[in-house]
Amino acid sequence: MLLKSIGVEKRAMFISYYEQTEDLRIPNILNLLLNGRDVALVSDSGTPAVSDPGFRLIRECVKNNIKVISIPGPSALISALVSSGLPTDKFIFLGFLPKKEGNRLKLLKNTKEGNNKIEATVIIYEAPHRLLKVLVSIQEVYGNIQITLARELTKIHEEVKTDSIENFIEKYKKQDPRGEFVALWNTKDF
């Protein structure tokens, strides 16, 4: 509809681009760009390359001296940070934590130990089916800290709540979490 409204729908070519197809698509897209075509990387939600495919394509464009122009769009990371009430001047974005518990705990411990001298807000993304496990891992490393959970940002069921991690764990033991989550906490709190 957008392309139709600006009169380019019939001239546009669409290429599906997701993590499993990146290796196949990058050479084709680079070829288009090197031959003077314009390409737009668009995500169905959020900003491309922020916990979504795109950075590998962008890296190859930079290596090939192809100009990349970013047009700011919705970003759950920044929306959650601003809405949380936590300090916004320094933050650490970890994206989605590792699925394996051992790797997840190792990353969290490294983040905690590496931040002994830096006060910053830590931000992660999490899917609803993994949220409880991740909250338990965070509690194991950081203790019963205050944490902010932002859910379904920029959508009708948007919710931003701050509470102890223990209370969130109890809540999600009783009810299934719904929607995509952003979890935030500050390093000065532990």
Report d(CA 121, CA 81) in Å as an integer: 8
Rounded to an integer, what is the distance from CA 68 to the centroid of its chain?
20
pLDDT at 35 over 80: yes
pTM of the complete model: 0.79
99 CB neighbour count, 10 Å cutoff: 11
**Ranges of each domain in the chain:** 2-63, 76-189
Note the pLDDT tens digit of each residue in 73-104.
Answer: 778 899 999 999 999 999 999 999 999 999 99
Report d(CA 182, CA 190) in Å as an integer: 19
Q: Which of 174, 104, 184 is nearest to 141 (CA)?
A: 104
> 7-11, 91-95, 170-174: which has the minimum mean pLDDT?
7-11
Q: Output the pLDDT for position 30.
A: 93
Amino acid, single-letter form, for residue 175: Q
CATH of 76-189, one of 1.10.150.20, 3.40.1050.10, 3.30.950.10, 3.10.20.740: 3.30.950.10
Q: Output the pLDDT for position 181.
A: 96
Report d(CA 32, CA 26) in Å as an integer: 10
The 3-class SS string of the chain reads CHHHHCCCHHHCCCCCCCHHHHHHHHHHHHHHHHCCCCCCCCCCCCCCCCCCCCHHHHHHHHHCCCCCCCCCCCCHHHHHHHHHCCCCCCEEEEEECCCCHHHHHHHHHHHHHHCCCCCCEEEEEECHHHHHHHHHHHHHHHCCCEEEEEECCCCCCCEEEEEEHHHHHHHHHHCCCCCCEEEEEEHHHC
> 40-44, 114-118, 167-171: which has the minimum mean pLDDT?
114-118
> 18-22, 107-111, 125-129: which has the minimum mean pLDDT?
18-22
